[in-house]
Amino acid sequence: MKKIAALTTLGLLVSLGLFSQDLAQWRGPHRDGIYDETSLLKTWPEGGPQLLWHFEGLGPGHASAAVYKERIFTTGTIDGIGYLFNFDMAGKLLWKIPYGEEWTESYAGGRSTPLVTDGKVYLLSGFGKLVCRSADNGDLRWTIDVLKDYQGPNIKWGVTENLLIDGNKLFCTVGGPEHNVIALDKNTGKLIWTSKGKGEESAYCSPMIITLGNRKIFVTQTASSILGLDAQSGALLWSHPQPNKWSVHANTPVFRDGYLYCQSGYQQGGVMLKVSDDGASVQEVWRANLMDNRMGGFVVLNGKLFGSDDSGKLWYCVDWKTGTNMFSEKITGRGSIISADGMLYLYGENGEIVLAQPEANSFKKVSAFKVSYGADQHWAHLVVVNGKLFVRHGTSLMVYDLQK
């Protein structure tokens, strides 16, 4: 059942010129949780920022919103079938289209956030179905079954990867012994290259590309390893051990000034690697288990890492260069984190959203509110685009006004 609560109409009639993003993807334009927004509220009214609208009826799922130009995309699951939903900026449902069977076992619903670019939407189901559709009307462009076509196993909680595109290549970690990572032509779905990697199963990781001179390196984590592949050819450049109890490495790595940080849950924590100037090797710099967050991510601001702990339910500020704990506090329940306009946005698994101010060696809680709609886990990551906060809680999508 759909429920749209529009608190204002005029404010939602935004000109198309404001929505000029050419790429909507997991954790923002740089895949690092930092959104390029300015002039946002530095404190919120009691009860939180103004709720502009909400949609109740997505069905179970954990995908965030992908905001592309004047459209919003996400996925949901209804009677075991995954649907791609498309809204306008006023919250009107323009269309919803089934894309196939979706995960209904433990923690039901689609896992991956749609990727939208060049007028196309790409999504990956929990059963490995990879679909490309028109962002305008949802027409099917192409589809493949990566697990069947490339002999990959599914994993305990359903294959999960927020897809990555670079140039003409769409990357996917299949997790098979022969076809471990593949690069496809984004326009046709045809294979460009395949890599054996380390032959390990996929590990819920959403990859990233780092650039060193003329070389681009595809970085991801499989069951027990961090991998660096040549993005042009798929050749394995290096690997580094990073095992944990359940082979879950759901956080996207971050690269800064020659250093690569990867974070895992289940007491494994994070590791900092120095990448050689030619990208052909890595060396471990430090390792710490302070922020052993499973899937909430982290952000890097002013030489500090900010994120939450999986078991202790603390939030940390950690020095990027040394891994030293600068500050920790139980600000809210463990959860996910993003940043926009110099502020931190924490989304606790307890349903609380916190606005926090980063300081020299700490951060403080400024404002907070509880999510009002939706059901099940608070696992989808927050999105901030064009002065608005997009919150997914299971069955519901909510949009708040962050502008001054």
The pLDDT, as a whole number, for residue 17 is 34
Distance of CA 360 to the CA centre of its chain: 27
SS3 content of the chain, % helix, strand, coil (to 5): 0, 45, 50
> Cα–Cα distance between 215 and 356 in angstroms, integer?
37
pLDDT of residue 11: 36
**pLDDT for residue 118 is more than 50:** yes
Alpha-carbon distance of 80 to 76, in angstroms, equals 10
Is 59 a residue whose pLDDT tops 70?
yes
Among the listed residues 270, 371, 358, 254, the one whose alpha carbon sits nearest the alpha carbon of residue 322? 270
Q: Which of 203, 380, 206 is nearest to 296 (CA)?
A: 380
The 10s digit of each residue's pLDDT in 321-368 is 999 999 999 999 999 999 999 999 999 999 999 999 999 999 999 999
Query: Tens digits of per-residue pLDDT, 124-162?
Result: 999 999 999 999 999 999 999 999 999 999 999 999 999
Q: How far apart are CA 377 and CA 109, in angstroms?
A: 11
- Return the pLDDT at 2: 38
Express each pLDDT in 223-263 by its tens digit. 999 999 999 999 999 999 999 999 999 999 999 999 999 99
Q: What confidence category does residue 3 fall into, taking pLDDT thresholds of 50, 70 and 90?
A: very low
For the chain, the average pLDDT equals 94
Buried-exposed string 63-95: b where 16+ CB fall within 10 A, e elsewhere: bbbbbbbbbbbbbbbbeeebbbbbbebbbeeee
pLDDT band at 310 (very low <50, low <70, confident <90, very high): confident
DSSP annotation of 374: -
Q: Can you give the pLDDT at residue 9?
A: 33
**Residue 10 main-chain phi, psi, to 5 deg:** -60, -40
| pLDDT > 70 fraction of the chain, expressed in percent and rounded | 95
Structure tokens at 192: 């460009």
Q: Where residue 201 falls among pLDDT bands split at 50, 70, 90? A: very high
**pLDDT surpassing 50 at residue 102:** yes
pLDDT beyond 90 at 313: no
Sheet of 325-329: strand order equals: 299-301, 304-308, 315-319, 325-329
Q: CA 164 → CA 113, 231, 260, distances in Å?
A: 11, 11, 18
Confidence check: pLDDT of 30 > 90: yes
Q: Which residues are within 8 A (CB) of 17 and not within 5 positions of it... i.e. 6 or more apart?
A: none
Query: Tell me, what's the pLDDT at 404?
Result: 81
Q: Could you tell me which of 34, 49, 26, 31 has the C-alpha nearest to residue 339?
A: 34
CB 221 within 8 A of CB 161: no
Torsion from C-alpha of 181, 183, 188, 191, nearest 10 degrees: -70
Query: Which is more confident, 1 or 290?
Result: 290
- At residue 21 the predicted structure's pLDDT band, cuts being 50, 70 and 90, is low
Q: How do 34-35 and 335-340 pair as beta strands?
A: parallel
Residue 207 phi, psi (nearest 5): -80, 180
Give me the residues paired with residue 193 across strands: 183
Where in 6-70 does DSSP place strands (E)? 23-24, 34-35, 50-56, 66-68
Q: Which helix (H) or strand (E) holds 147?
A: helix 146-149
CA distance 171 to 231: 9
Q: Minimal CA–CA distance to 147: which of 129, 171, 124? A: 129
For residue 322, the one-letter residue type is T
DSSP category for residue 202: B
CATH for 18-401 (2.30.140.10, 2.130.10.10, 2.40.10.10, 3.20.20.120) = 2.130.10.10
Alpha carbons within 13 A on the beta-carbon side of 271: 20
The strand pairing partners of 83, in sequence order, are 76, 98
Q: How much is the average pLDDT of 277-287?
A: 97
- The structure's pTM equals 0.94
125 vs 130: CA distance, rounded Å = 7
Q: 238 with 282: CB under 8 angstroms?
A: yes
Q: Is the pLDDT of residue 1 over 70?
A: no
Using CA atoms, how far apart are residues 99 and 239, in angstroms rounded to an integer? 35
Task: Determine the pLDDT at residue 375.
Answer: 95
What residue ranges do the domains of the chain occupy? 18-401
